[in-house]
Chains A and B, each alone.
Chain A
Amino acid sequence: METHVYCASEFYRMSRPMVSLQQLTKVFGNQVAVDQLTFDVPGGEILGFLGPNGAGKTTTLRMLTGMTQPSSGTATICGFDLLKEPLEVKRHIGFVPDSGAVFESLTGLEHLEMVAALYGIPEKVARPRIEQFISFFDLSMDTLSSKMLGAYSKGMRRKVVITAALLHNPPVVFFDEPLEGLDANASVGFKALIQSLAREGKAIVYSSHILDVVERVCDRVIIIDKGRALLDGRPDDLVAQHGSGTLEKLFTSVTGGQELEQRAETFAKTFLP
């Protein structure tokens, strides 16, 4: 059995983009969900991938993780072509999907050991890694080994999903709304974790609606709407360029959300339960 250990810093030192999208497009029927998206993510960078609901963020992440077939265009992960070498791509990525799906009838430990085995990590190596994450996330080994995942709280389940994405030490990690369900302490810990992962040279794509977190954590943001990239740059630079003060204001101004405050006020006045 071949085992895989990745040294993300090698890719970083080579300063080649670890994630590279070329004209990536997805069409559902006659609806264009992602429209010729092109960008690169070098190692060591945390990219905030933002957009309103239905903008195409999740579809893009699903294409990059091999869960959905692109309609046209392609992408490379650590130099591996998404369409030609899908298995190599999958070996080099970790993904935390927004659904947070797990096998509910497995215990947390069974789920993590199963994921480790899929990446060729022997149980003897997987167990100490799992224990590291358990202590980092303040989980109890007793709960993890005796309770089925179906009985976990949303936050505990999310911690298991994050652990499952990082267990094989991938050089590229995609996060889709990773903070959902995490309490304040776990969120603070998680933010510190992804920053330390980036310092190790991993490329991180972080999709979220919590814009103040994105502003603090991400080195760069891309805002997309209707499948197209609208803005791409460092958060501070973009905010300064547009004179919007905060990333949140910039986001609402470019995605047509300015009138929402006015609409909310009108709604509150006219809503009769």
Chain B
Amino acid sequence: MSAAPPVRPEMKAPSPEKTLRRLFLTVFVRGQSARGITKQTVAKSFTQKMGMMFLIYGLFGLSSLALIRQSVLLISVSLHSLTFLALGMFISASAGEALFNKEESEILMHRPVTSQMLLRAKSAVLLQIGFSVALALNAIGFFVGMTANDGGILFPLVHLVSTAEEALFSIGAVVLMYQLCLKWLGRERLEGIMTTMQVLLIISITMGSQILPRAIGHGNLGKVSLDAWWFKVLPPAWFASLDDAVAGSHSQSSWMLAGVGVLVTGVILWLGFTKLAAVYEAGMQTLNEAAKPSANQTRRYRTLKVLSESAPLSWFLRTPVSKAGFQLVSAYMFRDRDTKLRLYPGVAPMMIMPIMLLIGNQGISKGPMDSTVSDSLGGFFSAMSATYVCLVPLSALNLLKFSQQYRASDVFIAAPLPGPAPLMQGARVAVVFFLTLPMMVALSIFFVATRGISSLGMVLSGLFALPIYAMIPGAFENAAPLSNPIEEAKSLNNMPVMMLSIFGSIGVAGGATLFASLGLLPVFWVIEAIVSAIACVLMHRLTLKRGWRTYD
């Protein structure tokens, strides 16, 4: 080869940080792997993906129309609560994968870039996307804020600033939380920490976003008070106070709370991106250190084998392939970092929502409304909390379709199997046994403890619907476990199925409530059991007809 052309001083290269930002944005948009796509098809799919995302978030933002002519503070609290939930969900779901990606560390860790550069570039991309999500969500809210009864002309401008501050706070808080856990608990526990942190974050964000509107709703609408102690500790309140201070009441307490928001955001960013940035490097290096399976993990795998071969699981796992499917999926549920990071945060809202529904139910039954109406509503929310748990297998099986090691699924296709049906059966049993049934049991205990043994009837109506939801992923699409690239998990293909399933669970809850109010709940169970059995047989046939998915 001839000598390489020299680099002359007048030639300029983009800075490494700019290069990294561009890289991470491209990878985020296109996905980590790209089996079968070309550069030409990427632009179209990107525009479609982003367009769909903005449309959906924009539609959620329509709810702010209900706040027309309210006070700046009330409008802003509602908007920031919704934004905090959306941002929190987005960042929690993306941060683990974006911050700690093994393949990426293999490509970049030996290049002349520091871990701080990597952290800043990744966070900048998360901020860019997160802020876009927030803007889409607040698009209507900017105009609603201008109709506020105590000012509002400056609202769009200051709300833009406070939303940016909220996005910075959310990113900084997630980064800082990872770093603190790495520092205090050690990098050896990185994988466990990442999963636990994401689950806790999503649970607290879901609870926080539910509690704030409820607290406002149970109070006097339009008279949100900054004096309540709980209001002062909720981050959305800090950002809403900035809007109120500049474009609303201009009160001293608003200015003070806005100041708290700016201060806390500043401290979090300083700690996360300067003071504790070195901890991130330790986390990145851990990814390259192949850990030996612990004695516990080996024991757990043996236990899985014994479980799959003993009753009652063996009744549902009749073939060696379905047993192997069960063992494989269960092992990934407990061991694989990538799987755990998507699965548990993904189902966490479904674990907490039934409890939130029951708490709401208690509020309603004590409310000042007609006792028949409140009983019916109370019964509906009880049934709804049970049917909501049924969404867990549907959601979990959809998440378990994806894996960073999806290429290993070639071993299924190479095996003499007509299709993925027995593997899907194994995956279904694993999800129902390890995730759904424990949640059902916990919910039943909660029901008995708070409403007596008779309330278990509502749990039963959820239990009868469970097999239908567990069969959906295999029947209507190829849900062979761990066999699809993870970037497909970001697509919105599953959204219609999920929405229909939620409506279905509302229908079941409504039916159970209606029959219960007529004293005919056992009749509902019989009808539900028959419908469930027929649907399962039909969906089982559809599943058996499915072949393997092939890639171009």
Q: In the assembly, what is the distance between CA of A227 and CA of B27, in Å?
A: 37
Taking CB atoms, residues of chain A closer than 8 Å to B37 are: 105, 148, 150-151
Nearest CB to that of B111 among chain A residues?
A: A118
Contact call A105/B26, Cβ cutoff below 8 A: yes
Taking CB atoms, residues of chain A closer than 8 Å to B32 are: 103-105
Q: Does B109 contact A (CB under 8 A)?
A: yes
Interface string of B268-308 (1 = CB under 8 A from A): 00000000000000100100111110000000000000000
Q: Does A136 contact B (CB under 8 A)?
A: yes
Q: Which of B13, B106, B289 contacts A1 (CB 8 A)?
A: B13
Nearest CB to that of B18 among chain A residues?
A: A117
Distance to closest chain A CB from B35 (angstroms): 5
Taking CB atoms, residues of chain B closer than 8 Å to A187 are: none
Contact call A196/B27, Cβ cutoff below 8 A: no
Nearest CB to that of B33 among chain A residues?
A: A104
Q: In the assembly, what is the distance between CA of A120 and CA of B487, in Å?
A: 30
Interface set, chain B 19-60, CB cutoff 8 A to A: 19-20, 22-23, 26-27, 30-40, 42
Interface majority SS on B: helix, strand, loop or mixed? loop
Distance to closest chain A CB from B119 (angstroms): 15
Q: In the assembly, what is the distance between CA of A38 and CA of B498, in Å?
A: 59
Contacts A136-B1, A193-B1 given; does A119 touch B288 at CB 8 Å: no
Taking CB atoms, residues of chain B closer than 8 Å to A169 are: 4
Taking CB atoms, residues of chain B closer than 8 Å to A91 are: 112
Q: In the assembly, what is the distance between CA of A128 and CA of B32, in Å?
A: 28
Contacts A3-B9, A29-B292, A65-B110 given; does A114 touch B285 at CB 8 Å: no
Contact call B13/A196, Cβ cutoff below 8 A: no
Q: In the assembly, what is the distance between CA of A145 and CA of B38, in Å?
A: 10
Q: In the assembly, what is the distance between CA of A67 and CA of B111, in Å?
A: 9
Nearest CB to that of A129 among chain B residues?
A: B4
Q: In the assembly, what is the distance between CA of A219 and CA of B35, in Å?
A: 41
Distance to closest chain A CB from B165 (angstroms): 32
Count of interface residues, chain A, beta-carbon cutoff 8 Å:
54
Contact call A95/B14, Cβ cutoff below 8 A: no
Contact call A150/B33, Cβ cutoff below 8 A: yes
Taking CB atoms, residues of chain B closer than 8 Å to A107 are: 39
Q: Which of B13, B35, B39, B289 contacts A28 (CB 8 A)?
A: B289
Nearest CB to that of B281 among chain A residues?
A: A69
Nearest CB to that of A88 among chain B residues?
A: B112
Q: Which of B14, B20, B290 has the most CB of A within 10 A?
A: B14
Count of interface residues, chain B, beta-carbon cutoff 8 Å:
52
Q: Does A222 contact B (CB under 8 A)?
A: no
Taking CB atoms, residues of chain A closer than 8 Å to B291 are: 28
Taking CB atoms, residues of chain B closer than 8 Å to A129 are: 4-5
Contact call B39/A3, Cβ cutoff below 8 A: no
Taking CB atoms, residues of chain B closer than 8 Å to A117 are: 13-14, 16, 19
Contact call A95/B13, Cβ cutoff below 8 A: no
Q: Does A260 contact B (CB under 8 A)?
A: no
Taking CB atoms, residues of chain A closer than 8 Å to B39 are: 107, 145-148
Contact call B107/A69, Cβ cutoff below 8 A: no
Q: Does B228 contact A (CB under 8 A)?
A: no
Interface set, chain A 1-58, CB cutoff 8 A to B: 1, 3-5, 28-29, 31
Contact call A105/B109, Cβ cutoff below 8 A: no
Taking CB atoms, residues of chain A closer than 8 Å to B4 are: 129, 132, 169
Q: Does A101 contact B (CB under 8 A)?
A: yes
Distance to closest chain B CB from A64 (angstroms): 9
Contact call A67/B285, Cβ cutoff below 8 A: yes
Q: Does B12 contact A (CB under 8 A)?
A: yes
Nearest CB to that of A126 among chain B residues?
A: B13
Interface string of B178-219 (1 = CB under 8 A from A): 000000000000000000000000000000000000000000
Q: In the assembly, what is the distance between CA of A67 and CA of B110, in Å?
A: 6
Contacts A91-B112, A114-B19 given; does A121 touch B35 at CB 8 Å: no
New A-B pairs, 20, CB < 8 Å, besides A114-B23, A146-B40: A1-B15, A3-B7, A3-B9, A28-B290, A87-B114, A99-B106, A102-B107, A103-B27, A103-B32, A105-B33, A106-B27, A106-B30, A117-B19, A118-B113, A120-B13, A122-B13, A129-B4, A136-B1, A169-B4, A196-B1
The 7 closest A-B pairs by CB, nearest first: A105-B30, A65-B110, A101-B106, A150-B34, A105-B34, A117-B19, A148-B34
**Chain A residues close to B by CB (< 8 Å):** 1, 3-5, 28-29, 31, 62, 65-69, 87, 90-91, 93, 95, 97, 99, 101-107, 110, 114-125, 128-129, 132, 136, 145-151, 169, 193, 196
**Chain B residues close to A by CB (< 8 Å):** 1-2, 4-9, 11-16, 19-20, 22-23, 26-27, 30-40, 42, 103-114, 282, 285, 288-292, 487
Q: List 14 A-B contacts (CB under 8 A).
A: A1-B12, A28-B291, A67-B109, A105-B32, A105-B33, A105-B34, A114-B19, A116-B13, A117-B16, A118-B16, A120-B16, A122-B13, A145-B39, A146-B40
